[in-house]
Amino acid sequence: MSQQQDPLAHIRTILENKSVAKQVTYKNLLAAFGVLANESRRIVDTLSEQVKMEEDGVTVDFIEVNEHEFQVKLAGDLLIFVLHTNIVTFEESHAAMQLPYCKENEINRYFGQIMIYNFMSDSIRYNRVNDPGYLVARILINHENRFLVEGEGRLGFLFNQISSKAIEPADLNAIVQHSLTTAIENDLMAPPFPQVRFITLHQKLEKTSELGAGQKIGFRMSYENEIK
């Protein structure tokens, strides 16, 4: 803001620009989430036709929860897709903020988020509330429908730069496929024996289904990387 500029006018201009950008971003996010759900359903239908289910327990399913959430069950894995209603930006140290695209126009910095979490399907089935879920990927979309993905496995580098064009159904289809692949390739690891050696009667009576529950391997949150 220049010294001659009216502070209130400056504030109004910023609010108007940001508000418009955020509204457009949210509309783009809703549209992309709808396409993501359709592509997920398409992939589930294809897998259901192609995969031979040798046991009743091996299932592939699409579950629509509401306009902000849907789930894909893949045998013992459950991927939960969640649309976050808040529009966010990043700290200056974030790699995306260093790009000319974000530096040339402040409103390019605002993104909507779609999170993809991986839970064990038995955690939901038996209501094991202490079982952890893992963030497989985060899809970020801005007011121009340009996107990037932060994630595990191939998703960690395939779409880790802000795209030069608007997100397309083919992009969302690829994200779903890679998310499913990442989830199913990472197996359960039993907790160390000393951790399950002793139990209380309360655990026996109230939490039997949680005893000895495995944890996903191959996933590490960013803060764990910093600590270790």
Structurally, the chain folds into a number of domains equal to 1
**CA separation for the pair 182, 179 (Å, rounded):** 5
Residue 45 lies in a domain: yes
Kindly report the average pLDDT of the chain as a whole number. 82
Upper half-sphere CA count for residue 135 (Cβ side, 13 Å) = 16
Residue 216 lies in a domain: no
Over residues 120-135, the pLDDT tens digits come to: 888 778 777 777 788 9
> Bigger pLDDT: 101 or 50?
101
Q: Which domain holds residue 101?
A: 7-186
Over residues 153-164, the pLDDT tens digits come to: 888 889 999 999
According to the model, what pLDDT value does residue 188 have? 58
Q: What percent of the chain has pLDDT over 90?
A: 45
Residue 195 lies in a domain: no
Residue 144 lies in a domain: yes
Residue 22 lies in a domain: yes
Strand intervals (E) in the chain: 60-66, 69-74, 77-88, 111-120, 134-141, 147-151, 188-189, 215-216
Q: What angle do CA 98, 101, 106 make, to 5 degrees?
A: 85
The residue behind tokens 């391997």 is 217
